[in-house]
Amino acid sequence: MSTVAIYLALAGTFFWWVILLAPWQAWRTRELLEPNERLVGADTAARAFSEVTILIPARNEAQVIAQTLDGLLAQSHDLRIIVIDDQSDDNTAALASQKGAQVISGTSPPKGWSGKLWALQQGLREAHTRYTLLLDADITLAPGTLAALLDKAQQENLSLISLMAKLSTERFFERLLIPAFIFFFKLLYPFKLANDPASRMAAAAGGCMLVETRALRAINAFASIHDALIDDCTLAKKIKLAGFKTWIGLSHAAQSHRGYNRLGEIWNMVARTAYTQLHYSLPLLLLCSMIMTSMFWFAPMSVILSSDTLFLVTGILAWLAMSVVYIPTLRFYRCSLLWVLTLPVIGTLYLMMTWTSAIRYWQGQRAQWKDRNYETPNNV
């Protein structure tokens, strides 16, 4: 191995052990919320449901909206559900109406607004209850999930509580990349720190968020974050900085029923915001590329790229740390632990997605989602 390769291998192993030994242990899956059978059908839960307005922004969601609404009706038949139809050209609105939801016909987002946030802004005008549940159109909640959210929010005085919905892992590329998507998110936003009121770290998962309506109004949501592409974490940060308590966790009870049939669909999902995570900074992109190359290639590959005992040990230590930190996510997703052996490939693909995001940004396309293009701001 060359001197540069040796240093990269050592650096990559060092980074893996930092992840493993960091006191906040971002790789663990201990922040978990599942339905409590004690609450399912309880009178207290029924009374609490009257304090919730559910907002679902929906644009061309005819394939999934009925299943989402069925999941809500399994919580209670007395919920107030508002679907904001974001100018769909399919029968999303008709299907929502058939399920008993109130449908608001959304208007075109003003300049600078993301479509989802503008839809939520229109729906928030109709929310006058203590809590507002923000739910993506493809998320199914298992019976008792809303009661569990309300119970935790009230017991711990939380103003925002969000669940990282369990994504589909039925297909090959989903099993390869989706657990890693959650793993990387938890490394970027350690849940232990995000849930600590004393920490400035904030995070939320936009698919399922129960928020105190007063907290939304206190930060002028959603106008104050109207152009945010990573809107969930931006919302959590503003709410936390305003002095409210937030919590984020995993759950098997909130599941996305939107599948990813092709690699390109996952690629575009990641590329939509990857460069945003790096604050559109080329130096950070280059630093990220160097770190990921050292972690996903030079460190684990030193087992076979060098006959030197020291670097054989380096490679073994890298694989040991990689396995320890990734296995909890694989277990949560009930995937074979052998998928840990694909981490070098996974890391390479995610790095390529990040570069795709950067290249699109340099071409003037800030993001593309739901048939809408979000252009690069002139002042960036």
Indicate the residue type of 240: K
Q: What is the pLDDT of residue 348?
A: 97
CA angle, 346 then 288 then 321, to 5°:
55
Instruction: Give the C-alpha separation, 117 to 57, whole Å.
Output: 8
Per-residue pLDDT of 124-182, as tens digits, reads 999 999 999 999 999 999 999 999 999 999 999 999 999 999 999 999 999 999 999 99
Q: What is the pLDDT of residue 77?
A: 83
Instruction: Give the C-alpha separation, 336 to 285, whole Å.
Output: 32
Tell which residue, 327, 356, 339, 329, has the closest CA to residue 167: 329
Contact yes or no for 217/268 (Cβ under 8 A): no
| Residue 217 bridge partners (DSSP) | none
Q: Which fold would CATH assign to domain 43-260?
A: Spore Coat Polysaccharide Biosynthesis Protein SpsA; Chain A (3.90.550)
Contact yes or no for 257/141 (Cβ under 8 A): no
Predicted TM-score of the model (pTM): 0.92
Per-residue pLDDT of 247-259, as tens digits, reads 999 999 999 999 9
Instruction: Give the C-alpha separation, 220 to 27, whole Å.
Output: 33
Indicate the residue type of 39: L
Other CB atoms within a 10 A radius of the CB of residue 183 amount to: 22
CB neighbours of 73 closer than 8 A, spacing ≥ 6? 79, 99, 100
DSSP-derived secondary structure for 109-132: PPTT--HHHHHHHHHHTT--SSEE
| DSSP label of 199 | S
Give Cα separations from 165 to 38, 160, 352 (angstroms). Answer: 22, 16, 25
Q: Is the pLDDT of residue 378 over 50?
A: no
Domain positions in the chain are 3-27+265-373, 43-260
Tell which residue, 145, 354, 330, 339, has the closest CA to residue 252: 145
Per-residue pLDDT of 93-106, as tens digits, reads 999 999 999 999 99
Mean pLDDT score of the chain, rounded to an integer? 92
CB neighbours of 125 closer than 8 A, spacing ≥ 6? none
Contact yes or no for 314/29 (Cβ under 8 A): no
